[in-house]
Structure 1
Amino acid sequence: MPILSPADQEYLRQVFVERLRDPITIQLFTQRVTQISIPGYECATCRETNQLLEEVAALSEKITLEMYDLLQEGAKGREAGVEEIPAIILKGHNKGTLRFIGVPAGYEFATLIEDIIDVSRGTTELSPLSRETLAKLAQPVHIKVFVTPTCPYCPGVARLAHMMAIESEKVTADVIEVSEFPHIAQRYRIFAVPKVVINESLEFEGARPEAAFVAMVESVARAQAEPEQDSSA
């Protein structure tokens, strides 16, 4: 049974016709369905994520879906920085790296669709000042945005993080559906979402305006660069 209704499929097909510009690739790191159960490698949402992305990719000839089994193709996963599955990586005109960890369901499905469009076009709605700031980042920045499918405030934060990754080669942005990964929720003490962690050193809960979020990213990159400058003096 399809996940997307016929009406949703037709709507998205038209959106892709109107808004996609160049081809993009969706890389999905997953667990292939087998008859063998491997302890410690069960993936509760891989089947759903596989089907969802297959349905999305079928709506446009400009979308290519590549699927990798993390157990069988571990080297490819390590190269892509993938530790948990399902993991989705979008590739097109983005300068940095943007990933979804977990199924992009609920409110986060809209984030996925808008990301696909931005990666295809190579443009975002970030302000010129934000783009200028991101272009001058002194050090790489890894942003983790923890979300749940039922959080109405999460997509705005997730989109900002992913837009920064599209605009800057120094930004890696992960959107993590934290309810799928209790060990991650425990490690990062997730009691409310959205929660953002930047370079494991700065964290905050709730949404922030674009300018404030970009300023935090810039401050973390600058702070990381300063010790290196001091040591070389």
Structure 2
Amino acid sequence: MLDAAIKGQLKAYLEKLQRPIQLVASLDESSKSEELNNLLLDIATLSGKVSVSNLGNAAYRPSFSIAALGEAPRIEFAGIPMGHEFTSLVLALLQTGGHPPKVDAKTIEQIRAIEGKFHFEVFVSLSCHNCPDVVQAVNLLAAINPNFSATMIDGALFQNEVEQRKVMAVPSVYLNGEHFGQGRMTLEEIIAKIDTGAAERDAKALGEKDPFDVLVIGGGPAGAAAAIYSARKGIRTGVVAERFGGQVLDTVGIENFISVKATEGPKLAMALEQHVKEYDVDVMNLQKAAEVIPGNNPGDLVEVKLASGASVKSKSVILATGARWREMNVPGEQEYRGKGVAYCPHCDGPLFKGKRVAVIGGGNSGVEAAIDLAGIVAQVTLIEFDSKLRADAVLQRKLFSLPNVTVITEALTSEVVGNGEKVTALKYKSRNTDEIATVELDGIFVQIGLLPNTDFLKGTVQLTNRGEIEINARGETSVPGVFAAGDCTNVPYKQIIIAMGAGASASLGAFDYLIRTSSPC
């Protein structure tokens, strides 16, 4: 099951086990059960502290649970956790075996103090790059606090369960049988939803912070670069981030980040956060900026009001709020979001195996999505507003070579149709004839670009007609002391490496502003 290289790495990890653990399998006569059994036996051969039992009686088959010897299991995998979920398996083995997690002491103390009974179920696809974050978060809760338990469910393997619960996007999370959340969630976000008093405590603590020299709003590549460059100047630096990593977290393959041949978005986001934390930077995660209030004169403090009700102040601010997926803005889109309307083909594609889907958008992202989906689904219909596709020629050649792809150009998507529970069709209007056509399908993947996250800045800084922040070469906005960088600005090319450079430029611009208007702390 496992090749020699992986066995060698896993053996080294399992040497960190501090107590014996048992893998309890629930199997049937299927080939997948045999595959799972071989995986568990492989693991057991790598450590004397791991044993395997096939006497499980769980509802999901094949599945297995992990438990410290003599304790009831609290972590379960329904399916075979390979692909992106293999790391989730390794961490579950280590944490159940007593190896301390890489979480700060304050968070561990908060987890241990939570009372009640919490059983999480996380529906995943093994190709989903966001799913492991959620699986690992709920598994960690179960490893630390006996009041928690967690089950990962491979949606592609347990299609009946997916149909019954109407799961059409992953990760999809249930708590005690009720829908809890959908999409990528961090450990902090999950704790915040459970520990309802945490938000109020955090808001009070934020309001008591001393003013910063530089406050960065946003934790993506631009924000991370700005924070590092500021901290290296020895000035008081803070970062307010709704989620550290930003849009990079939703990016699968990255092959144009110079000096790094290939990486993945979540891996790069983790590296960014770790690099920032190497410096004396106050990272305020899970905080969304709601308003920026500049001072009346150059050198005055800038106030940033947060959605939590807290307020922080700084001598200068760098806006690095990034962008989000552009939506179709047609009837039915919001109603069926997560019920057939999706934005990540890599994550949600496996849930539509053998079904019919549409891809909206004929740029590189849309054509790449259609190519990927064509290997999974029965039929792909790509719909493009323009008279021709805008994707690179090499991608178009690949697309048109696929027998189960239909391309429709000069088409305006007009409505998402459903039966109240899930998507059943898509309507579009021909730009040539104005006729309305209907495509019967099961899923719609929207790939039509990005929108800058600048709604809260209207009336504060100068924006373009597309909502982008206008900046000069130094990253300066129309407001003294307020700078900007990255995908939220009018920089023409939205690339990770360009955002990082822009973040560095904005930071240097902010430092120059500080030394000309005041003395940094």
TM-score category by the smaller chain?
0.7 to 0.9
Q: Name the SS for the 1:155 alignment partner.
A: helix
- Superposed counterparts of 1:194-205, under 5 Å: 194-205=171-182
Q: What per-residue deviation string (whole Å, max 9, x for no partner) do you get for residues 84-114 of structure 1?
A: 1112111118887111111112111221111
Q: Which has the higher contact order (CA 8 A, sep 6+)?
A: 1
Q: Name 2:2's counterpart in structure 1.
A: 4
Q: Name the SS for the 2:156 alignment partner.
A: helix
Q: Name 2:170's counterpart in structure 1.
A: 193
Q: Name 1:13's counterpart in structure 2.
A: 11
Q: Name 2:117's counterpart in structure 1.
A: 140
Q: Name the SS for the 1:91 alignment partner.
A: strand
The whole-number CA distance in structure 2 between the counterparts of 1:91 and 1:126 is 21
Q: What per-residue deviation string (whole Å, max 9, x for no partner) do you get for residues 160-194 of structure 1?
A: 01000011111111111111111211122211111
**Shift, 1:60, TM fit:** 1.0
Q: Name the SS for the 1:179 alignment partner.
A: coil
The whole-number CA distance in structure 2 between the counterparts of 1:29 and 1:96 is 13
**Shift, 1:140, TM fit:** 0.2
The whole-number CA distance in structure 1 between the counterparts of 2:2 and 2:77 is 19
| Conserved 8 A contact 1:141-1:217 | no
- Superposed counterparts of 1:87-102, under 5 Å: 87-92=63-68, 97-102=74-79
Q: Name the SS for the 1:123 alignment partner.
A: coil
Q: Name 1:210's counterpart in structure 2.
A: 187
**TM-score normalised to the size of structure 2?**
0.36
Identical-pair percentage = 22
| Conserved 8 A contact 2:11-2:46 | yes
Q: Name 1:30's counterpart in structure 2.
A: 27
- Superposed counterparts of 1:36-55, under 5 Å: 43-55=30-42
Q: Name 2:353's counterpart in structure 1.
A: none
The whole-number CA distance in structure 1 between the counterparts of 2:42 and 2:94 is 16
**CA distance 1:131–1:11, shift in 2 (3 Å):** closer
The whole-number CA distance in structure 1 between the counterparts of 2:193 and 2:62 is 29
Q: What per-residue deviation string (whole Å, max 9, x for no partner) do you get for residues 1-25 of structure 1?
A: xx211122122222222x2222111
The whole-number CA distance in structure 2 between the counterparts of 1:113 and 1:216 is 26
The whole-number CA distance in structure 2 between the counterparts of 1:109 and 1:20 is 17
- Relative to total residues, which structure has the larger strand share, 1 or 2? 2
| Conserved 8 A contact 2:65-2:73 | no
**CA distance 1:55–1:197, shift in 2 (3 Å):** same
The whole-number CA distance in structure 2 between the counterparts of 1:96 and 1:163 is 13
| Conserved 8 A contact 1:122-1:166 | no
**Is 1:112 equivalent to 2:85 in the alignment?**
no
> What code does the residue aligned with 1:184 have?
E
**CA distance 1:187–1:218, shift in 2 (3 Å):** farther
| Conserved 8 A contact 2:133-2:186 | no
Structure 1 gap ranges (5+): 34-42, 69-75, 220-233
The whole-number CA distance in structure 1 between the counterparts of 2:9 and 2:105 is 31
Q: Name the SS for the 1:180 alignment partner.
A: coil
Q: Name 2:59's counterpart in structure 1.
A: 83
The whole-number CA distance in structure 2 between the counterparts of 1:140 and 1:59 is 34
- Superposed counterparts of 1:135-174, under 5 Å: 135-174=112-151
The whole-number CA distance in structure 2 between the counterparts of 1:193 and 1:169 is 26
Aligned residues: 195
The whole-number CA distance in structure 1 between the counterparts of 2:10 and 2:113 is 36
| Conserved 8 A contact 1:30-1:85 | yes
**Is 1:56 equivalent to 2:38 in the alignment?**
no
**Shift, 1:122, TM fit:** 5.1
> What code does the residue aligned with 2:22 have?
T
| Conserved 8 A contact 2:66-2:76 | yes
| Conserved 8 A contact 1:144-1:176 | yes
Q: Name 1:229's counterpart in structure 2.
A: none
**Is 1:175 equivalent to 2:152 in the alignment?**
yes
Q: Name the SS for the 2:195 alignment partner.
A: helix
> What code does the residue aligned with 1:128 have?
A
**CA distance 1:61–1:138, shift in 2 (3 Å):** closer
**TM-score normalised to the size of structure 1?**
0.76
Structure 2 gap ranges (5+): 197-521
- Superposed counterparts of 1:60-71, under 5 Å: 60-68=47-55
| Conserved 8 A contact 2:63-2:79 | yes
Q: Name the SS for the 1:172 alignment partner.
A: strand
**CA distance 1:101–1:193, shift in 2 (3 Å):** same
Q: Which moved more, 1:206-215 or 1:123-132?
A: 123-132
The whole-number CA distance in structure 1 between the counterparts of 2:147 and 2:100 is 16
Q: Which structure: larger Rg?
A: 2
The whole-number CA distance in structure 2 between the counterparts of 1:139 and 1:194 is 24
